[in-house]
Amino acid sequence: MEEANSTVEKVVIPPPQGVWKEWASDQKAFKGVPWGKAMMWIFLVSDTFVFSIFLISYMTVRFSTKVEWPNASEVFGLHVGHYNVPLLLIAIMTFILITSSGTMALAVKYGYEKNKKMCGWLMLATAVLGASFVGMQAFEWTKLIHEGVRPWENPFGAPQFGAIFFMVTGFHGTHVTIGVIFLFIMTWKTFRGHFDTGKRGFFTSQKSNYEAIEIMGLYWHFVDLVWVFIFAFFYLW
- Tell me, what CATH number does 128's domain have? 1.20.120.80
99 lies in which domain range? Answer: 33-236
- Of residues 25 and 181, more confidence is placed in 181
pLDDT of 10 higher than 80 = no
Answer yes or no: is 13 within a domain. Answer: no
pLDDT of 217 higher than 90 = yes
Answer yes or no: is 163 within a domain. Answer: yes
Handedness of CA 66, 229, 227, 235 (dihedral sign): negative
Give this prediction's pTM. Answer: 0.81
Answer yes or no: is 62 within a domain. Answer: yes
List the beta bridge partners of residue 200: 207
Answer yes or no: is 24 within a domain. Answer: no
Answer yes or no: is 178 within a domain. Answer: yes
- Of residues 198 and 143, more confidence is placed in 143
Predicted pLDDT of residue 206: 58
According to DSSP, residue 236 is labeled I
CA atoms within 13 A on the CB side of 50: 14
Answer yes or no: is 174 within a domain. Answer: yes
Answer yes or no: is 19 within a domain. Answer: no
Terminal alpha carbon distance of the chain: 84
20-53 per-position pLDDT tens digit:
555 555 555 556 667 788 889 999 999 999 999 9
Cα R_g (the chain), whole angstroms:
26
List the beta bridge partners of residue 83: 80
Answer yes or no: is 6 within a domain. Answer: no
Look at the chain and report how many structural domains it folds into: 1
